[in-house]
Amino acid sequence: MRRLAAAIEERTPRVDVLVNNAGSIFIKRASSKDGYEKTFAVNHLAPFLLTHLLVDTLKRSGPARIVTTASNAHRNAKIVFDDLQTTRKYSPMDAYGMSKLANILFTLALAKRLQGTAVTATCVHPGFVRTNFGANNEHDVSPLIKRIYLLIARFARSPEKGAETVVHLAASPQVQGESGGYYFDCKPIPPAAAGQDDAAAERLWQVSEQLVGIA
């Protein structure tokens, strides 16, 4: 993330839109080079750090927008503050859900910090989209699970449909100045109660700062 931010700063004097869309899920627990569980590292800590590194450029470029891809997988999730790295018990869907809840709480806390600036922060549920998401687990799932996924994927959204709300939040004049919201099909929807917890959002922010070394 630091190399990416440095490359962006070197190549362009302004950033109008930052879309935090990269993400993954890991069937088997794995750690990043920093020693963090990879789902949490890729889906939350990476965009948290990249946004921090680019926020001054975004402010100078304003009006600017930050859009983060979350998911309705957050709805049954919780932030386990005493085991963010899921060392005690690992479930890929629990880890993924927690990371997506972290995306929403990050957006909530970020929007508050951006008040009074020309930068907004929103997050989006793109729906179940037919992409190569999760392909990194190809060797860790059974042939039966692969066949079931291929069957279900027939009913998934196209990548174009999945990107629709992201593009809307990045470019539409209809949401100019709107900040802190969670969107689906180009409309704001309420996240789960856990995604509206200001105290949890602030606690996660402080912990995340420590984990990425910017506290």
Catalytic residue numbers read 96
User: E strands of the chain, at which residues?
Assistant: 17-20, 64-69, 119-124, 182-184, 187-188
Do 41 and 32 contact (CB within 8 A), yes or no? yes
Q: How far apart are the C-alpha atoms of 28 and 100, rounded to whole Å?
A: 18
Do 95 and 167 contact (CB within 8 A), yes or no? no
Do 23 and 97 contact (CB within 8 A), yes or no? no
What angle, rounded to 10 degrees, do the helices at 46-61 and 2-11 form? Answer: 20
Do 1 and 46 contact (CB within 8 A), yes or no? yes
Q: How far apart are the C-alpha atoms of 103 and 96, rounded to whole Å?
A: 11
Do 17 and 121 contact (CB within 8 A), yes or no? no
17-20/187-188 β-pairing: unpaired
Which amino acid, 211?
L
119-124/17-20 β-pairing: unpaired
